[in-house]
Chains A and B, each alone.
Chain A
């Protein structure tokens, strides 16, 4: 599935949150969206998911504007993990993940074997196999995050939009989710766009990186080029440098904890 958008602009009231945003992904590509807080990552993802109507520009899947699709059609192609979703308290993990099948069963059809299998697979892939009957209100933040990822996976869409999928997870699950995303893209050709704050994870998992600053797309290219551009230090106002650890791996950003010396002084 090809996902693309051109000169996308989004305004909230009078504030421009996204300006002339371009993106073009080929099938199976992993794209990381990075940028400081409030730079427009979530806005971009929500617009790609068809949840925000852009003031200008449009989003296309396989050259079809998403505005011309029904919600369900769109949900069969594209699954979206919001940054901080909320669910009804009394809902269980299994019930949440089951909602991911709505795009397939619709309002009337009953759940079939393939639906149950997708649910099971989604639960297992996120390490939630024993949690299906727990209610969401009694989960830890990371467990809840995985339940939502699981719901998005159950949708079995060819495009995955993930807004900070790893933000509440311990390092073990962060890697597990990233591995899963990687496998989905390489084995099933799933196209992924995700916002992520850990630069090194972004560099190592993605094929391309988009860097946003105050709603402007200021970089779009391969991880290696981002390292060479010197933009990271400027945009995030930190000092550090990229070091090549392994010959074929993307460079590793080593940040100087300059602010710590200021604190102890």
Chain B
């Protein structure tokens, strides 16, 4: 074979190979092409074997040409392979595509009841202030609910505490404060006690009243407890619970078991104190009652009111989520309409 003949067939081969590489439509086709030209029995390899038929002086030049052709084909193959891989991957992804807007599938997940969630929040705050949370009975003795709390016998103050009686001596507690004497008669100061739970008063049910409601009661007894401490504690609670801008108002009020006694109110969470329908234009929302523990309460349990002083406060729990979520009807809490419970 003459040199020209060999060169011609190399050029032909290059052209044919490049066009079939360009036309290859899949990675497997490309692999076949590679075998056809560059494999051990491939056409280019065969051509290189024919170098021995050339005159010795032409052999190096021809060898170089074949190698160049090989490199050129390898490059073309690599480029095409990359291009095809890209297309094939894209096709596969397209085939696997999902509608991400279809709804997810999971079992229904419930929530904590808003009152129990509120009680958890309250607990965390008082645990942080060093209070011991205690459990307290709902069916309570008359003595603990009234007598030990300095309610004089047959006093009009009891009109606000219309009670459900179970026996002559047992009633459904009207206030969580009933736990005070139970603790104080069995333990010595210093005390930091918090309890919460259900209370009952003989009240007809409407949007803002119920015969069943929830309270949290705290009291602190120590050698130097002051009214300023009471204020500070409730300020702290109100800000943790309702936000750092919350203001607290203490207004004189009467509860037989505290003196001085106060009504505790916070700036309206709806209007921030400007006045609105929720706070009846006053800017304040009542939280509960508070005061310094009355000496008579101490005397009854054998704590010396000259040595010790203390404060106590009781706050309505139901009102808190009502304020926070702007719930206008107290009845919703114990009706358990799932459409309500899933919102709060």
Partners in one complex: no
- Interface on B for A, CB 8 Å cutoff? none
